[in-house]
């Protein structure tokens, strides 16, 4: 039985699915930290540029990549091949 024909996502799109997941993980890693060891003092590192702007944008971009890959039926190819017949 050929399992490749039963898979819902084309092989080429699986790479982009993993890339979107890695982008989201990177965004969540940028959100970590910023807490204070002593509850009596406030740490302003909580409001750093990477935690307030870059990390949420990376997480959102990862979700957009995931949605596009999952909704796209045909394989996503960045470069046109000469032997590609569509």
In a domain, 40, yes or no: yes
**pLDDT at position 20, please?**
96
Mean pLDDT of 25-38: 86
Owning domain of residue 25:
14-71
In a domain, 63, yes or no: yes
In a domain, 7, yes or no: no
Q: How many domains does the chain have?
A: 1
In a domain, 58, yes or no: yes
Phi/psi for 49 (5° steps) reads: -60, -40
Rounded percentage of the chain residues whose pLDDT exceeds 90: 42
In a domain, 86, yes or no: no
Mean pLDDT of 35-54: 85
In a domain, 83, yes or no: no
Rounded percentage of the chain residues whose pLDDT exceeds 70: 84
Q: Of the ranges 9-13, 60-64, 71-75, which one carries the lowest mean pLDDT score?
A: 71-75
The answer to whether 34 and 46 are in contact (CB under 8 A) is yes
In a domain, 38, yes or no: yes
- Find, among 56, 74, 63, the residue nearest to 11 by Cα: 74
User: Residue 13 — pLDDT band, cuts 50, 70, 90?
Assistant: confident
Torsion over CA: 62, 68, 70, 75 (sign): negative
């Amino acid at each position: 039985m050929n399992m490749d024909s039963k898979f819902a996502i084309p092989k080429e799109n699986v790479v982009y699915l993993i890339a979107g997941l890695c982008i989201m993980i990177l965004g969540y890693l940028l959100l970590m930290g910023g807490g204070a060891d002593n509850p009596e003092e406030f740490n302003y590192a909580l409001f750093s540029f990477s935690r307030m702007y870059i990390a949420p944008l990376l997480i959102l971009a990862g979700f957009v990549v995931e949605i596009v890959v999952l909704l796209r039926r045909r394989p996503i190819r960045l470069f046109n091949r000469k032997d590609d017949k569509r």
